[in-house]
Amino acid sequence: MSMKKIAILSGDGIGPEIVAEAIKLLDCLKHNFGFDVELESAAIGGAGYDQDGDPLPESTLTICQQADAVLLGAVGGPAYEGLERELRPERGLLRIRAELELFSNLRPAMLYPQLASASSLKDEIVSGLDIMIVRELTGGIYFGQPRGIRELDNGEKQGFNTLVYAEYEIERIGRSAFDIAMLRNKKLCSVDKANVLEVSELWREVMNRLSTDYPEVELSHMYVDNASMQLVRAPKQFDVMVTTNMFGDILSDTAAMLTGSIGMLPSASLDSNGKGMYEPIHGSAPDIAGKSIANPLATLLSVAMMLRYSLGEAELANLIDVAVGNVLNQGFRTADIADGANSVSTAEMGDAVVAAMRVQSN
């Protein structure tokens, strides 16, 4: 096993608290499972601004470029809201995604049976839910040019953005999604708006073309309005979904909330070589920062995704998934998933997962 380098970006708010638990887990992998890993910490977001006046300091970018994978806590907070746009913590995040060309955003929505009551939907609709949404992350309407707000001849203002996808962009996110479908149940649903948008027509054409390279994967297409409805009507019909930046932004939040627990969901953003940045889907939760009550499980599950998708350690990833299931079975709950019952602290939850890992190393 060759040595792996992981860049650790704790960020702001609860970021340092939850990432501390991930570091404990990585130490356990090193000492109990012989996983050869080196961690290097760097500042991002508000912490980057405090350190260097830049939400993505040059030194941080270099560390991330040299690493095999990046683990991020979260960025942002009220202290930075008054800064000009370019200096805001969230800009650091957008910039690192662009710099590392992390075009493929993997957002799983998985419901742990132990937490079924946390969902706003009925048990029978969500129990066993396990969806992977693959969202294009560096193109589409969020990046298309021209964009802006202009003044028309009649003096009225007009806002405009451009939805644009080049074939290569569709092809690489398509391949990423087909590859993931091959690792799962070989079922892929491509979501578009081909009845209205030319961009979507091209999207569909490229997805169909790619499917000939993946004969084992069953490809289907769905309009985005229907997909949003189906996600709340019968979400278990989906396995892997692939879609554009904006559609994915919206659908992945809907899918995440089907599970009812924002503190449980990890995510990955990958480049074309499988290098990636891994982070919980939630933000820096300033309302609970410093209280030691944040749920670290989304971050620990992000470590599992990192092992699976960037570091070629699927077995260790599976052990983490099992450990998390076991601590939930043992009744450990942080406040966000406790449903009024007794809860444990961030560190107690992290320790419980490490203990459940050690049991599996014996």
239 part of the active site: no
- Active-site entry in 5, 30, 130, 142: 142
12 part of the active site: no
- Active-site entry in 54, 112, 193, 278: 193
Closest Cα partner for 19 from 49, 43, 53, 51? 43
Q: How far is the CB of 20 from ligand NAD (least distance, A)?
A: 13
Q: How far is the CB of 191 from ligand NAD (least distance, A)?
A: 22
- Active-site entry in 249, 271, 275, 336: 249
Q: How far is the CB of 128 from ligand NAD (least distance, A)?
A: 24
C-alpha 19/C-alpha 284 separation (Å) is: 12
Q: How far is the CB of 94 from ligand NAD (least distance, A)?
A: 10
Token pair of 220 as six digits: 């289907």
Q: How far is the CB of 198 from ligand NAD (least distance, A)?
A: 32
Q: Closer CB to ligand NAD, residue 174 or residue 296? A: 296
- Active-site entry in 36, 213, 225, 339: 225
CA angle 226, 227, 232 (to 5 degrees): 100
Q: Closer CB to ligand NAD, residue 45 or residue 174? A: 45
- Active-site entry in 179, 253, 321, 351: 253
Q: Closer CB to ligand NAD, residue 109 or residue 163? A: 109
Which residue ranges make up the site for ligand NAD (CB under 6 A)? 14, 18, 74-77, 90, 93, 262-263, 279, 282-288, 294-295, 298, 336
225 part of the active site: yes
CB of 185 closer than 8 Å to CB of 239: yes
112 part of the active site: no
Q: Closer CB to ligand NAD, residue 110 or residue 207? A: 110
Q: Closer CB to ligand NAD, residue 26 or residue 118? A: 118
Which residue in this structure is represented by tokens 């939040």? 253
Which residue in this structure is represented by tokens 């499988």? 274
Q: How far is the CB of 355 from ligand NAD (least distance, A)?
A: 20
Q: Closer CB to ligand NAD, residue 203 or residue 278? A: 278
249 part of the active site: yes
Cite the DSSP H helix spans in the chain: 15-33, 46-52, 58-66, 89-99, 123-126, 167-183, 198-211, 224-233, 245-258, 297-309, 314-329, 346-361
Strand partners, 243: 135
Region of 155 please: left (phi>0), alpha (psi -120 to 50) or beta: left
Task: State how far the alpha carbon of 167 is from the alpha carbons of 88, 132, 138, 153, 201, in Å.
Answer: 32, 23, 14, 36, 11
Token pair of 41 as six digits: 């910490």
Active site residues: 142, 193, 225, 249, 253
